Amino acid sequence: MQYLLVIFPEQRAVIIDGTEQGMTNELIELEEGTHTATLKGPSDFAPEMREFILRRTSELNPKEIQFEKL
């Protein structure tokens, strides 16, 4: 498994590849590969969606992506 950390100032559900997979600021386990992420809730964040590649991560060294609060 690979690990992702989605950083956002508030707790929100994280949508990965169209499916709710976890929460912001908490580790999310995913398969290796290319994925897309967005947040659930009000559209008060940017960018609208992020594409990322998940490879060579660990619980102590997850891939980090960030959404900004508007």
Domains held by the chain: number: 1
CA–CA gap between residue 13 and residue 54 (Å, rounded) = 19
CA dihedral 20, 26, 31, 36 (to 10 degrees): 50
Structural domain boundaries enclosing 40: 2-59
Is 32 within a domain?
A: yes
For every one of its 70 residues, what pLDDT tens digit does the chain have, with 9 covering 90 and above? Answer: 999 999 999 999 999 999 999 999 999 999 999 999 999 999 999 999 999 999 999 999 999 999 999 9
What is the pTM for the complete model shown? 0.95
